[in-house]
Amino acid sequence: MFRTEMKEKATNCVKLSFEPDICQEVISYIHTDETPNIMDPGMAEKLWYAAHMYELPGLQARCENALAMQITEENAAHLLAFTSLIEYAEPLEELREYVLEFITKGNGICNKVMMSEGWSEIKSNLDIVHAVLEQLACDGKPPPRK
């Protein structure tokens, strides 16, 4: 920001649009390659946005891994909605596949996910619902790529 002709160079000031705890985590990652609070509730998702904004692919991957480790029946639908944001779809493809596998792996998990509050986030998104149904039709395995 300070090396190119951006407003931050002209004003010598950077205004961050993230909460202080997210900024602290980004700074910690940049200086120490550590993310001590990434497993705190809600941290990995917010931190992923910051990592994406500041082009920190290593931190993005770390956030995706943390999200995959935190998946539950209660948050699976929300995570699927998160991975389905159009502008972020490509970088989150692996996490999306993991969430779909979790939802469709059997043992009534899909029913529990559909009864969760998060399902309301995705039930009107036909692409997501189609992806869930398609994977269910394949016995929980990803459908063959076209």
d(CA 14, CA 87): 24
Nearest 5°: CA angle at 29, between 27 and 32? 100
Please tell me the pTM assigned to this model.
Answer: 0.81
Give the per-residue pLDDT at 7: 83
Give the model's pLDDT for residue 144: 66
Q: In the prediction, which pLDDT does 12 show?
A: 82
| 3-state DSSP percent of the chain in helix, strand and coil, to 5 | 60, 0, 40
| Dihedral angle sign, alpha carbons of residues 57, 89, 139, 99 | positive
pLDDT value at position 54?
86
7-137 CATH fold: Potassium Channel Kv1.1; Chain A (3.30.710)
* Contact of 128 with 81, CB cutoff 8 Å: yes
Residue 60, both tokens:
């993005």
**Long-range own/partner contacts, residues 85-92 (CB < 8 A, 24 or more apart):** 88/52, 91/52, 91/60, 92/64
Block means of pLDDT (10 residues each) for the chain, 146 residues, are 78 83 94 95 93 91 95 94 72 89 88 91 88 85 66
Say how far apart CA 89 and CA 75 lie, in whole Å. 18
Dihedral of the alpha carbons of 9, 13, 16, 19, in degrees to the nearest 10: 160
pLDDT at 88: 57
Q: What is the pLDDT of residue 26?
A: 95
